[in-house]
Structure 1
Amino acid sequence: MSEVSADDLTCARQGDGDAFGRLVEPLRRELHAHCYRMLGSAHDADDALQEALLRAWRGLSRFEARGSLRSWLYAVATRACLDTIEARGRRALPVDLGPSSDHTVVDAAPRDDVAWLGPYPDAALGDGPLGPDARYEQREAVELAFVAALQHLPGNQRAALLLFEVLGLSAAEIAATMRTSTTSVNSALARARKVIADRVPAQSQRQAVRKLGDARLRDLVAGYAAAMERGDAAALAALLTEDVTWSMPPLPHWYRGVEAVMNFAVQVPLTRCGSWRHLTTSANGQPAVASYLRHGGTGPHRAWSLNVLTVRGDAIAAITSFLGPEHAALLGLPGALPG
């Protein structure tokens, strides 16, 4: 610990809130991302991190300076997340709720009784791994498939996997964090890895995007946005894999296969909604497109959805459309675009 950090720690223990802020500020972003991975919601991550920092402030006297402040704060944040999981349960995507729809559902009603998985802004993420022994890079560890798979794990397994595979902590360190035995941690890791292996593709989106290349990725994302704006069904279909899926939380219905997806696209977004405009962006370590909709003939286009794209080969293998203007705000995008 540097001299300045040691001074800040002493002052923070004496009740200096500014000193405590200086101690935790360099770690705030990575702690927030950890809470998102645990909880599947940026909003829940906000609440959990706030609770964790409050607990850390109140319990700072229990931190032993010979250890790592970072590891201690991760332990506090993990326990705050486990309390949230116990109280609220897991979050889901439409594909978790049942089979795909065999026909297009028009004017579907949202499911308000489901805690939906939400997107995460890439701007909050760093590059590379969080530790020398980490298996996942930071952006890989927020990809939709990975975060959705984590939601199928009990809280203790979720925490053990993230602390081991994303942070690179040892089983003994995790046992201390979770106040359990190393044997229990190893058992939780084994069970968690099996679920992840069954639910997450072998190739991450990070790897798929690198293989595709920046130029082709830009063309693919721009082509999706342009096809939607023009209402060009043929151009959209040409960008999709044969087994593509399209889901739209909080709507429960989802579609699998290019025929079903295009049937939905032709009947709903391409013809029934209105005029579209788009901004290309990224979320969850994946390419994304923010959609803005104008229902009438004049006026601005207002934020409508955030479409996170999953890429395989040189095509789009999944579209996850998070409906609601709040997702544009989450990414720091405007709430409306000029007409």
Structure 2
Amino acid sequence: MATSRLPISTAATSTSVETLLEPFRTELTGYCYRMLGSAFEAEDAVQDTFLRAWRSFERFEGRSALRTWLYRIATNVCLTMLSSVQRRVRPMDLGPAGSGTATSAGEPRPEEIWVGPVPDSRVLPEGSDPAEVVASRESVRLAFVAALQHLPPKQRAVLILREVLAWSAQEVAELLDTTVASVNSALQRARATLAAADTGGDAYQPLDDEQKTLLARYVRAFEAYDLTALTALLHEDATLSMPPVPLWLRGHDDILAWMTGTGSGCRGSRLLPVAANGLPAFGQYRPNLDGPGFHPWALILLETSAGRIARVNNFLDTDHLFPLFGLPDRLA
């Protein structure tokens, strides 16, 4: 962790406070996203963090690094936000898998209950070290962020600061105003909880030939709506989910039955690639039945493992998600 001190006596007069804070936006958004499980709440939390830092900047005397001070503020903002909301979940957390022959995916649930996707550009600082890039992608994978939501908020903060950001136990103890023994105890309990959760899967490596081939085959099969070819790319126990509706499916038979029946409106869709949660992702556009072109239908995130697709996550709230990812509101 950076420990350099800010030359506070000259900084405030040589540049604006906003200019000093802005370089930390991406990493703080990544931290808040892991804590909160929502891209929109993470950005709100960072804005609140910057506002509090701006208001109290004159009282910041440079006794700690500016980065440490901002993380302290961001942690307090997140802990306050988490004290008044329910834990965010994935459809798999709400009940058993449904049937592919269901005629409806169920009534949509409020956005506030779901672990949502986030653009890589909002949470992953640019870096030239390939190992660091892969590690950063691992730490925002959907399965990992969802597993973090099972931890009590302070345990969550401890685990992220220690395991993801590589802070020392002493640094975390100082940030949380607690003892090193308490930090180590919280970390041990958090590790035990995560060990029991399903956080597996591969981080996206765009230059990996095997992954490129898999994704190219997926796009061809989906756009052609070749369900035989598409199913062949899935693990036998692959899952399909569609937040904000609660229905989720497991296995070839139910996924195939759904896509053949109720989900058959996806036939003829087009896919645009995006980068989300360190995973391969696509904006899906379905044919417009009322005229020419295609309209937004879902943001698809694929979780892969051992050369096949393990989870297909279809996020249907395109009104909010497509602008977030810079996707157009229609395709010609």
TM-score by length of 1: 0.88
Specify the code of the residue in structure 2 equivalent to 1:126.
Answer: P
* Alpha-carbon spacing, 1:222–1:188, altered in 2? closer, same or farther (3 Å): same
The match for 1:15 is none
Tell me which moved more, 308-317 or 227-236: 227-236
Contact 1:128 1:137 in 2 (8 A): no
Task: Supply the distance in 2 between the matched residues of 1:197 and 1:63 (Cα, whole angstroms).
Answer: 39
* SS of equivalent residue, structure 1 residue 308: strand
Contact 2:147 2:199 in 1 (8 A): no
Are 1:82 and 2:79 matched, yes or no?
yes
Task: Supply the distance in 2 between the matched residues of 1:318 and 1:173 (Cα, whole angstroms).
Answer: 37
Cα displacement (A) at 1:297: 6.3
**In the alignment, which of 3, 7, 10 is matched to residue 10 of structure 2?**
7
* SS of equivalent residue, structure 1 residue 87: coil
Cα displacement (A) at 1:114: 5.5
Cα displacement (A) at 1:83: 0.5
Contact 1:94 1:249 in 2 (8 A): yes
Deviations for 1:253-275, whole angstroms, at most 9, x for unmatched residues? 10111211111121133x23553
| Paired residues, number | 324
Are 1:294 and 2:296 matched, yes or no?
no
Task: Supply the distance in 2 between the matched residues of 1:297 and 1:54 (Cα, whole angstroms).
Answer: 46
Cα displacement (A) at 1:129: 11
Task: Supply the distance in 1 between the matched residues of 2:108 and 2:178 (Cα, whole angstroms).
Answer: 41
* SS of equivalent residue, structure 2 residue 84: helix
Deviations for 1:271-293, whole angstroms, at most 9, x for unmatched residues? 23553111122210011121011
Cα displacement (A) at 1:128: 6.1
Task: Supply the distance in 2 between the matched residues of 1:150 and 1:226 (Cα, whole angstroms).
Answer: 34
Unaligned runs of 5+ in 2: none
The match for 2:55 is 58
The match for 1:96 is 93
Cα displacement (A) at 1:225: 2.4
Deviations for 1:165-200, whole angstroms, at most 9, x for unmatched residues? 111111121111112222221111111111111114
Cα displacement (A) at 1:3: 8.4
**In the alignment, which of 319, 324, 329 is matched to residue 330 of structure 1?**
324
Task: Supply the distance in 2 between the matched residues of 1:175 and 1:114 (Cα, whole angstroms).
Answer: 31
Task: Supply the distance in 2 between the matched residues of 1:336 and 1:65 (Cα, whole angstroms).
Answer: 50
Cα displacement (A) at 1:81: 0.5
Deviations for 1:95-132, whole angstroms, at most 9, x for unmatched residues? 111111134323332123861111010122125699x9
Task: Supply the distance in 2 between the matched residues of 1:64 and 1:106 (Cα, whole angstroms).
Answer: 62
Deviations for 1:315-339, whole angstroms, at most 9, x for unmatched residues? 111101111222222111212111x
| Structure 2 counterparts to residues 1-339 of structure 1, below 5 A | 7-8=10-11, 10-11=12-13, 19-108=16-105, 109-112=107-110, 115-124=113-122, 125-126=124-125, 137-201=135-199, 204-206=201-203, 209-210=204-205, 214-269=208-263, 271-273=264-266, 275-296=268-289, 298-325=291-318, 326-338=320-332
Cα displacement (A) at 1:224: 2.0
Contact 2:265 2:286 in 1 (8 A): no
Task: Supply the distance in 2 between the matched residues of 1:167 and 1:128 (Cα, whole angstroms).
Answer: 15
Identity of aligned residues (%): 42
Task: Supply the distance in 2 between the matched residues of 1:11 and 1:184 (Cα, whole angstroms).
Answer: 40
Deviations for 1:21-42, whole angstroms, at most 9, x for unmatched residues? 1111111111111111100101
* SS of equivalent residue, structure 1 residue 138: helix
TM-score by length of 2: 0.90
* Alpha-carbon spacing, 1:146–1:113, altered in 2? closer, same or farther (3 Å): closer
* Alpha-carbon spacing, 1:30–1:6, altered in 2? closer, same or farther (3 Å): farther
* Alpha-carbon spacing, 1:297–1:229, altered in 2? closer, same or farther (3 Å): farther
* Alpha-carbon spacing, 1:248–1:129, altered in 2? closer, same or farther (3 Å): farther
Deviations for 1:224-269, whole angstroms, at most 9, x for unmatched residues? 2222222211111111111100111101010111211111121133
Contact 2:235 2:310 in 1 (8 A): yes
Task: Supply the distance in 2 between the matched residues of 1:200 and 1:60 (Cα, whole angstroms).
Answer: 42
Cα displacement (A) at 1:150: 0.5
Task: Supply the distance in 2 between the matched residues of 1:102 and 1:321 (Cα, whole angstroms).
Answer: 17
Unaligned runs of 5+ in 1: 13-17
* SS of equivalent residue, structure 2 residue 269: strand
Task: Supply the distance in 1 between the matched residues of 2:68 and 2:329 (Cα, whole angstroms).
Answer: 38
Tell me which moved more, 240-249 or 321-330: 321-330
* SS of equivalent residue, structure 1 residue 183: helix
* SS of equivalent residue, structure 1 residue 305: strand
